[in-house]
Homo-oligomer: A and B are copies of this chain.
């Protein structure tokens, strides 16, 4: 066997390809990505991509599942936790996701775009992973505000957290704010969202 491991900090060929695929796929989406882009980004011969991963589709599968896990992995357990309050859940999710998204700002648009292009494909995966409607969070919201559909507050929370990352290219074009300031703003939101969410819950 001549298996090369990632020696001396350098990545193995396989890992170089995967990392390049993460970059290119998340930035441009599946359809706009050419396998040659990935090969170039990874600095490897195009044929190696198929040697290690069989096909563009298979490589994509790996990347999208990773990113989906990153976007959806945390939410289920938190929302179904019977022991925490609404406020604790919101703060937990807010802090966790903003940190994750600062490190991976392209994920939401990427994942949501691919779901749009292929809803059937992800249906099973997502449904098993997260059952919001029967969660503790849902019941807590319904008890606190029986007059408003709990889904509204789910939308609100996710909108406050995720939208800035989706809308960033637009807002950055409109306002011209530098990306360092954008990061500062996002960090501020970690705490602010909790307060805002409470205010919305109590609004009459």
Residues in B neighbouring A160, C-beta threshold 8 A: 155-156, 159-160
Closest A-B pairs by Cβ, 5 of them: A159-B163, A31-B32, A199-B203, A159-B159, A199-B199
> How many residues of chain A have a CB within 8 Å of chain B?
58
A126 and B199: CB pair below 8 A? Answer: no
Shortest Cβ distance from A189 into B: residue: B152
A127/B200 contact (C-beta < 8 A), A163-B158, A189-B152 known: no
A173 within 8 A of B: yes
A77 within 8 A of B: no
Chain B CB count within 10 A is highest, among A28, A116, A160, A199, for: A116
Name which of A4-12, A57-65, A80-88, A128-136 contacts chain B. Answer: A128-136
A117/B32 contact (C-beta < 8 A), A123-B173, A162-B167, A164-B155 known: yes
Q: Is the interface of A mostly helix, strand, loop or mixed?
A: helix
Residues in B neighbouring A29, C-beta threshold 8 A: 29, 31-32, 113, 117
A166 within 8 A of B: yes
Shortest Cβ distance from A202 into B: residue: B199
Chain B CB count within 10 A is highest, among A115, A122, A148, for: A115
Known: A29-B113, A126-B174, A152-B189. 16 other contacts (CB 8 A): A28-B31, A29-B29, A29-B31, A31-B32, A32-B32, A109-B109, A115-B169, A119-B173, A126-B173, A131-B174, A132-B174, A149-B188, A151-B177, A152-B192, A196-B200, A199-B199
Q: Would you give the shortest CB distance from A149 to chain B, in whole angstroms?
A: 6
Shortest Cβ distance from A129 into B: residue: B174
Q: How far is the CA of A109 from the CA of B119 in the complex (A)?
A: 14
A130 and B174: CB pair below 8 A? Answer: yes
A183 within 8 A of B: no
